[in-house]
Amino acid sequence: MKYDLIYNQLKEQIHSTDSHYQVGDRLPTEQQLSLYFEVSRSTIRKVLNRLNQEGMIECVQGKGHFIRQKRNELVYPLPKVDNIVNNQESIDIIKYQIMTVPASIAQSLDLSINDKVYSIKRLIYKDGNPLKIQEIFLPCKQFPMLTYSDMLQPLLNVIKKYQPQNEIISRLHFIPASADSTQAELLNIIKGKLLQQMILQVTSITNLSLGYMITTYSVEKNSVFFVCPYGVD
């Protein structure tokens, strides 16, 4: 049943320790979730009620649904994720700079507020059409020799190049969003259109933080990316 699939996906997103959802954060509205999962609001309401009954979220009348507790973690080898970022026809680098790590990213990369990161923003095209926006943060101390040309390659290739000694794993989850004016312009879509964001955190097997990437794409233009990323060996 689609109800069970939605319940399991939301539960995994809430449980993930590196999720953008932290205790106290508000979930998307019933209407947003209904559009995202393409089901009725009554189905979404049943899922939220179940999560509330199980203590994972809290319903606040007139304000929405908020994360109450988090547990568990979804972890799997990064090579299975690499299928999602292959077959890119071209990459346009919009931003490439070294900067102090943003506060919102520091914890995910296990960095202090004064540490430096490479901040890269790039637009992925396929057949000449803008497909995805990728925002990448890489710790400078782990990639001291990173070059501009490196960032014209898939992220996995870059990490393997500079971290060949490390066995790599990832933590991955998806969240819905709506296009702001900048995203709409880059993706050539209407502002407010439904987006999906793939949040990828890369670490070594010894828990050394290696990278953080947010991939944003239009649901209408990229429905194929809703396929579960575990892959088949």
Give the start-to-end residue ranges of the domains of the chain.
2-67, 76-226
User: pTM of the prediction?
Assistant: 0.60
Asked whether residue 231 carries a pLDDT value surpassing 60, the answer given is: no
Summarised one tens digit per residue, pLDDT across range 68-81 is 765 543 343 433 33
Q: Tell me how far CA of residue 36 lies from CA of 33, 53, 134, 195, 219, in angstroms.
A: 5, 23, 20, 8, 8
- Taking only the tens place, the pLDDT of each residue in 26-58 is 888 888 888 888 889 999 999 998 888 777 788
For 188-221, the three-class secondary structure string (H helix, E strand, C coil) is: CCCCCCEEEEEEEEEEECCCCEEEEEEEEEECCC
pLDDT per position as a tens digit, 50-109:
888 777 788 877 778 888 765 543 343 433 333 344 454 688 999 999 999 998 899 889
The residues, ordered by sequence, that sit 6+ positions from 233 with a Cβ below 8 Å of its Cβ are: none
Tell me yes or no: is domain 2-67 CATH 1.10.10.10. Answer: yes
Minimum mean pLDDT range among 59-73, 107-121, 128-142, 201-215? 59-73
Topology given in CATH for the domain delimited by 76-226? Chorismate lyase (3.40.1410)
Question: Based on the number of CB atoms within 10 Å of its own CB, is 147 exposed (0-12), middle (13-18) or buried (19 or more)?
Answer: exposed
